[in-house]
Amino acid sequence: MKQSLRLGRIAGIPVGVHWSVLVIAALIAVSLAGAVLPGAVPGQAPRLYWVLAVVTAVLFFASLLAHELAHALVARWRAIPVRSITLWLFGGVTQMEGEARTPRGELEISLVGPLTSLAVGGIAFVVAVYAPGPRLVMSALMWLALMNLLLGVFNLLPGAPLDGGRVLHAVVWWRTGDRFRADRAAARAGQGLGLLLIAAGVAEVLFTTWAGGLWLMIIGWFLAGAAGTEMTARSAREGLEGVRIKDVMTPLPDLAPAWLDVGEFVSSVASRSHQTVFPVVAFGGEPVGSVTLEELAAVPPARRGSTRLGDLARPLAPERVVGPDAEAIVLLERPALGALAAVVTEGGQITGMVTAQDMARMIRLALLRRSG
């Protein structure tokens, strides 16, 4: 999930939001200010409803962040690096580098998020019922409590990609000792849950109101699709067992010296090469970035003689440089950024590259191995 806006870091973890959060925040604020709060405590100034609605919406997303942060902190405690936390349309995503090594570790990471939401909801509920304060504030707090309780319960439903699907995965893994069997069980449960929600949404549209039913259908469609995607990814992982980077890479690719200008490179290398992307190398032969034919073509002809490839190159992150004997499965944890997924080096020199096309072929072959 790509972040549209970076909010900063919490405990060293980059935190950001997707643009869809703005849509949901606006819908929550409108619903609270236009219906929920006036219905609970009528007769207040419209400005007061709006101020409290915006504050409550912000607190709701803060509770979502607490849910994801709980996942992230337990994952780090379990020695799994965390890349980022992103809030988006359907809640939040905690991106981790790798997976739990044991069923217990996965169970702990999966459960802590919903338990955090239930705890936040419980605390807000107790405060709303027993603490003294303005009725309007207590009503907003009650809404926040109910939303967090609902969030916690919903996330515990047994189907991928929900936290409850991870819990189901951990339990099946523990009972059978077969991680791949657990993968299939969680993914199939997620697809079934998604279809059930779609059916419930259709029934609600037909027999009650269309708004709630439409929302159920959207959530069900998302769950079913995400579970199917996860099943495909898991099957690809199974098919890639024992496959090495050298088995899937493009060997001895044409390279783009950082000190050459675009015009010279196009006439001497790019025009005769079959590649669409080129690793850019420094004087010592070490990779520093990549450049594509599209990026070369975007340079105006008048500037091609003065533009160096090193200035045009897209930087290459350290994790994008791999050895030929590394397991190919690591590439699934580092999906291609543009046309180039990884550069393969041996002895400090480039011996191959893995392109987006190489990865697509690798995944198709992995799925064929699993279905054969």
The predicted-structure confidence for 132-175, as pLDDT tens digits, reads as follows 889 999 999 999 999 999 999 999 999 888 999 999 999 999 99
Phi–psi pair at 11, nearest 5 degrees? 55, 35
**Residue 370: what pLDDT?**
64
**Residue 132: what pLDDT?**
86
Confidence at 83, pLDDT banded by 50, 70, 90: confident
Q: Give the ranges where the chain is alpha helix by DSSP (H).
A: 20-31, 37-40, 46-77, 103-130, 135-155, 163-176, 179-207, 210-239, 245-248, 262-265, 293-297, 309-312, 356-371
Query: What are the catalytic residues?
Result: 68
Q: Which two tokens stand for residue 16?
A: 């950001």
The answer to whether residues 215 and 154 touch, using CB atoms and an 8 Å cutoff, is no
The answer to whether residues 148 and 121 touch, using CB atoms and an 8 Å cutoff, is yes
Report how far Cα 371 is from the mean position of its chain's Cα atoms. 27
Q: Which of 80-94, 129-143, 227-241, 348-362 has the highest mean pLDDT?
A: 129-143
Mean pLDDT across the stretch 202-220? 80
Query: Which sign, positive or negative, has the C-alpha torsion 314, 318, 321, 327?
Result: negative
Token pair 């739990």: residue: 100
Percent of the chain beyond pLDDT 90?
60
**Residue 327: what pLDDT?**
86
pLDDT digits (tens, 9 = 90+) for 314-324: 988 888 899 99
Cα R_g (the chain), whole angstroms: 25
- What CATH number belongs to 245-371? 3.10.580.10
Q: What does pLDDT average to over the chain?
A: 89
> Does the pLDDT at position 1 exceed 70?
no
Q: Domain coordinates of the chain in residue numbers?
A: 5-239, 245-371
Q: Which two tokens stand for residue 42?
A: 């009528």
User: In angstroms, what CA-CA distances link 322 with 166, 301, 351?
Assistant: 30, 35, 10
The answer to whether residues 244 and 322 touch, using CB atoms and an 8 Å cutoff, is no
